[in-house]
Amino acid sequence: MSEQDRVRWDARYATSAAEPEGGPPPVFAAHVAEFPTAGTALDIACGQGAASFWLAQHGLDVLGVDVSAVAIATARAQAQRLGVTGRCRFAVADLDDGLPAGPLVDVILCHRFRDARLDRAVVSRLVPGGLLAICVLSEVGGSPGPFRARPGELTTAFADLDVIAAGEGDGQAWLLGRRR
Ligand SMILES: C[S@@+](CC[C@H](N)C(=O)[O-])C[C@H]1O[C@@H](n2cnc3c(N)ncnc32)[C@H](O)[C@@H]1O
């Protein structure tokens, strides 16, 4: 990512330390039973870590990564406050360079971040039966834009997963699927 974009994200997070609401991203709330209660998870572009905290509280060992060092510092501080540091690690990483190296994981969560260049690496990083939970901005019910998924983009991109549920509308697209 460009230095200018990174500075912009850092500035945004420097003025907004969000209090985590304590549940999964709302779009996945009806599908909590699909998430394992043990194993490992990777939270891509985790921001201040809200979804990572939920995954940790759900029983998973989580690595959250984001390009913003400010967001990651806030996530680490929140993890201390919530008492989940044993289950939650955070790292600064620029996903323009690909996924950070690491072992296969049981869950990959990607909430409100889209980089189609990562799609194959994301699928390959899951154990067989592993769960992808992805939610991105969409052109469907929203305006066109460079970071918005086109109609049907997620179901096409992840057609090789066993799709559990998916939807798009109101400017949002999401998909839950398992690696075969
Ligand atoms: C809309 S926020 C979503 C954050 C979080 N997943 C959430 O739902 O609250 C998008 C996030 O993507 C991160 N991001 C953008 N480009 C990135 C990149 N190239 N590498 C890693 N993170 C990136 C930003 O820093 C920001 O935290």
What is the CATH number for 142?
Answer: 3.40.50.150
pLDDT by residue (tens digit) across 140-161?
999 888 889 999 999 999 999 9
pLDDT value for 6: 86
Q: Is the pLDDT of residue 73 over 80?
A: yes
Across 127-145, average pLDDT:
94
Q: How far is the CA of 165 from the centre of ligand 1 (A)?
A: 23
Q: How far is the CA of 45 from the centre of ligand 1 (A)?
A: 4
Q: Name the β-bridge partners of 131.
A: 107, 178
pLDDT value for 178: 98
In which element (H, E) is residue 6 found?
Answer: helix 3-14
Mutational pocket test of ligand 1: of 16, 66, 96, 99, the residue with most ligand atoms within 8 Å of the beta carbon: 66
Chain centre to alpha carbon of residue 93: 13
Distance (Å, whole) CA 35 – CA 132: 10
Radius of gyration of the chain (CA): 15
pLDDT by residue (tens digit) across 9-32?
999 999 877 777 779 999 999 999
Range of the domain at 62: 3-179
Q: How far is the CA of 65 from the centre of ligand 1 (A)?
A: 9
Name the domain count of the chain: 1
